[in-house]
Amino acid sequence: MNMKRIFLIIGFILILCLTFLLSCNNFERRLHQKIEEVEKKALDSGFAYFDLSTITNFEWDSVLFIQGDESVPVFKEEINEMLSNRRSSIHWEDQRFNRKVDTQFRWHTNDLPVDKNRFYFLTPEKKLIEKDVNRKKTPFRFRYCEKHDSSGNNWTGPFWLSKQESNFSVIRIERKIENDTIARVWTIFVANCSEE
In angstroms and rounded to an integer, the radius of gyration of the C-alpha atoms of the chain is 21
Distance between CA atoms of residues 169 and 189, nearest Å: 6
Residue 155: what pLDDT? 60
**Residue 113, number of CB atoms within 10 A of its CB:** 12
SS3 106: coil
CA 105 to chain centroid: 20
Please, which residues bridge with residue 166 across strands?
none
> How far is the first Cα of the chain from the last one, in angstroms, to the nearest whole number?
69
160 pLDDT above the threshold of 90: no
Residue 123: what pLDDT? 95
Q: Measuring CA to CA, which residue among 184, 168, 192, 194 is closest to residue 38?
A: 168
Do residues 80 and 59 lie in contact, with contact meaning Cβ atoms separated by under 8 Å?
no
Distance between CA atoms of residues 48 and 34, nearest Å: 11
CA 32 to chain centroid: 12
Strand extents, DSSP E, 106-151: 116-122, 128-134, 140-143, 147-148
Residue 104: what pLDDT? 81
Residues 128-132: contacts with CB within 8 Å, 24+ apart?
128/83, 129/58, 129/60, 131/25, 131/27, 131/28, 132/25, 132/28
161 pLDDT above the threshold of 70: yes
Confidence of residue 147 (pLDDT cuts 50, 70, 90): low
Give tens-digit pLDDT for 75-130.
988 888 888 877 888 887 888 888 888 888 888 899 999 999 999 999 999 999 99
Do residues 168 and 189 lie in contact, with contact meaning Cβ atoms separated by under 8 Å?
yes
Residue 63: what pLDDT? 93
Give tens-digit pLDDT for 179-189.
766 555 667 88
Q: What is the mean pLDDT of the chain?
A: 80
Confidence of residue 17 (pLDDT cuts 50, 70, 90): low
| pTM of the full structure | 0.75
Distance between CA atoms of residues 44 and 41, nearest Å: 5
Do residues 73 and 113 lie in contact, with contact meaning Cβ atoms separated by under 8 Å?
yes
